[in-house]
Amino acid sequence: MSTSTSPAVQRTFDVEEIRAQFPILKELVHGKPLVYFDNAATSQKPRRAIKAESTYYATINANVHRGVHTLSTKATEAQEAARETVRAHINAQHAHEIIFTCGTTASINLAATSLGQLLLKKGDEVVISGMEHHSNIVPWQLACERHGAVLKVIPITDSGEWDMSAIPARGRNDILTDKTRILAISHVSNTLGTINPAKKLIAQAKKKGIITVVDGAQAAPHLKIDVQDLGCDLYAFSGHKAYGPTGTGVLYGREELLERMPPWQGGGEMIDTVTLEKSTWAKLPFKFEAGTPHIAGIIGLGEAIRWMQDYDLDAMAAHERTLLEHATKELLAIDGLRIIGTAKEKVGVISFVIDGVHHYDLGTLLDQQGIAVRTGHHCTQPLMDRFGVSGTTRASFACFNTIAEVDAMVAGVKKGVKMLR
């Protein structure tokens, strides 16, 4: 099992060479070649990540950080190598700042529960934005209810961006106030594809002593993440959207803050000592990793990230941008089609509505042609309300998608419009 953290030479970007590494792309759906455009829900997995997981089960399966026996040592080493891979990938300072969870949802619930307990009192304020996934709304609502705090929301412009005029760096600002304790924002929107100016807003919040939490679920698969450069306190993402296994996620936290945060879940491995009266906590990151982790998944995630690092991530992003630009141009030529989310800075996510065509019907027709898109509210109901729609059809691209696949989708949409209108 490879555990190197960075390749000596990066492979040049060749989409056919990349596609050959994704076994699922050979599958037929309704007798048609699969066109997978639902990567924002979960990406497909390269053979290397799948193999790393099965090799763990076949050769070194044992619990981690527990036994003195050889298999446990090997499993522990493989898991901790994955932690180091993640650390390097997002440029965290220390490997113990990387907490493994089962996904972004778990990472944000950990953050909201623990930070709530540490920071929130009656009348304090927590700020989110109007484009958050439910995973970055509901945990903060729960925390605010628990501690008597107030949830405030950054408004969204017609193009699907934060309305920065509502949060000026100088002068009166009714959103980031003296009472704001926590700012929790998405780096990239799952519905609109907008890449948010997170670094700028974090810098503004930092000046006011506000703790910043970033939902990076849709950024990690597409952007180079540098948590030190971003300046955030906590950063959450899912492994399964970044070519890794389902059931894996990460919460990065700045060491000094993690040291102060109380544990989220209690149980085995997160303690230092336990008596029947009181327990003390293990050192980082184990204080936040109660119970047996998803060892195989974490090892698979490490391998998925090493796989990504074998390529020039800028070239991958450029390829996805080409797909987005092509899809945008071709879709806009369809009569009555409107794109929701027209920010200048976007990842390869395109959401649209068509007059007289229900997104669910269109999604079903596309599926019959082997094309997988997501339809509905994408777990962003407040954002749907903001744009006055009940849902959209969403195509979300990954590095293995092609222009020919975009053309197939556009042809499928045109066919759908003819049938449904």
Q: How many residues bind ligand 7TS (CB under 6 A)?
A: 17
- Of the pair 192, 406, the CB lying nearest ligand 7TS is at 192
Q: How far is the CB of 9 from ligand 7TS (least distance, A)?
A: 32
- Of the pair 334, 379, the CB lying nearest ligand 7TS is at 379
CB 65 within 8 A of CB 76: yes
Interaction mask 267-306, ligand 7TS, x per CB under 6 A = ----------------------------------------
Q: Is 378 in the site for ligand 7TS (CB under 6 A)?
A: yes
CB 68 within 8 A of CB 230: no
Q: Is 374 in the site for ligand 7TS (CB under 6 A)?
A: yes
Q: Is 190 in the site for ligand 7TS (CB under 6 A)?
A: yes
379 is catalytic: yes
- Of the pair 87, 377, the CB lying nearest ligand 7TS is at 377
Q: How far is the CB of 168 from ligand 7TS (least distance, A)?
A: 26
| 113, 186, 194, 342: residue in contact with ligand 7TS (rule CB under 6 A) | 186
Q: What is the rounded distance in angstroms from the CA atom of residue 290 to the CA atom of residue 265? A: 6
Question: Token match 């980031």: residue?
Answer: 176
Q: What is the rounded distance in angstroms from the CA atom of residue 228 to the CA atom of residue 149? A: 29
| 180, 238, 369, 401: residue in contact with ligand 7TS (rule CB under 6 A) | 238
Interaction mask 126-155, ligand 7TS, x per CB under 6 A = -------x-xx-------------------
Q: Give 394's Cβ-side CA count (13 Å radius).
A: 25
Q: What is the rounded distance in angstroms from the CA atom of residue 69 to the CA atom of residue 302? A: 23
Q: Is 215 in the site for ligand 7TS (CB under 6 A)?
A: yes
Radius of gyration of the chain (CA): 22
Q: Is 248 in the site for ligand 7TS (CB under 6 A)?
A: no
CA-closest candidate to residue 350, choices 384, 383, 374: 374
Helices (H), 208-254: 227-230
| 196, 212, 218, 401: residue in contact with ligand 7TS (rule CB under 6 A) | 218
Coil, strand or helix: which one is 371?
A: strand
Count CB atoms within 10 A of the CB of residue 117: 15
Q: What is the rounded distance in angstroms from the CA atom of residue 136 to the CA atom of residue 184? A: 7
| 36, 45, 82, 103: residue in contact with ligand 7TS (rule CB under 6 A) | 103
Whether the bond between 155 and the residue before it is cis, its omega within 30 degrees of 0, is no
Q: What is the rounded distance in angstroms from the CA atom of residue 398 to the CA atom of residue 4? A: 24
| 34, 35, 40, 395: residue in contact with ligand 7TS (rule CB under 6 A) | 40
Q: What is the rounded distance in angstroms from the CA atom of residue 331 to the CA atom of residue 352? A: 9
- Of the pair 182, 417, the CB lying nearest ligand 7TS is at 182
Q: Is 104 in the site for ligand 7TS (CB under 6 A)?
A: yes
| 20, 29, 41, 315: residue in contact with ligand 7TS (rule CB under 6 A) | 41
Residue 277 amino acid letter: E
Question: Token match 């998925």: residue?
Answer: 304
Q: How far is the CB of 109 from ligand 7TS (least distance, A)?
A: 9
CB 377 within 8 A of CB 41: no
Q: What is the rounded distance in angstroms from the CA atom of residue 389 to the CA atom of residue 123? A: 33
Q: How far is the CB of 281 from ligand 7TS (least distance, A)?
A: 25
- Of the pair 342, 375, the CB lying nearest ligand 7TS is at 375
Q: Is 97 in the site for ligand 7TS (CB under 6 A)?
A: no
- Of the pair 40, 350, the CB lying nearest ligand 7TS is at 40
Q: What is the rounded distance in angstroms from the CA atom of residue 207 to the CA atom of residue 334? A: 47
**Segment (H or E) for 187:** none
Return the axis-axis angle of helices 295-309 and 47-55, rounded to nearest 10°. Answer: 150
CA-closest candidate to residue 106, choices 263, 237, 221: 237
Coil, strand or helix: which one is 169?
A: coil
Residue 152 amino acid letter: K
Q: How far is the CB of 265 from ligand 7TS (least distance, A)?
A: 16
Catalytic annotation, pick one of 102, 232, 379, 399: 379
**Which residues are paired to 238 by β-bridges?**
249
Q: How far is the CB of 40 from ligand 7TS (least distance, A)?
A: 4
- Of the pair 208, 224, the CB lying nearest ligand 7TS is at 224
Q: How far is the CB of 377 from ligand 7TS (least distance, A)?
A: 10
Q: How far is the CB of 154 from ligand 7TS (least distance, A)?
A: 15
Which residues are marked as active site? 379
Q: Give the binding site for ligand 7TS (CB under 6 A).
A: 40-41, 103-105, 133, 135-136, 186, 190, 215, 217-218, 238, 374, 378-379
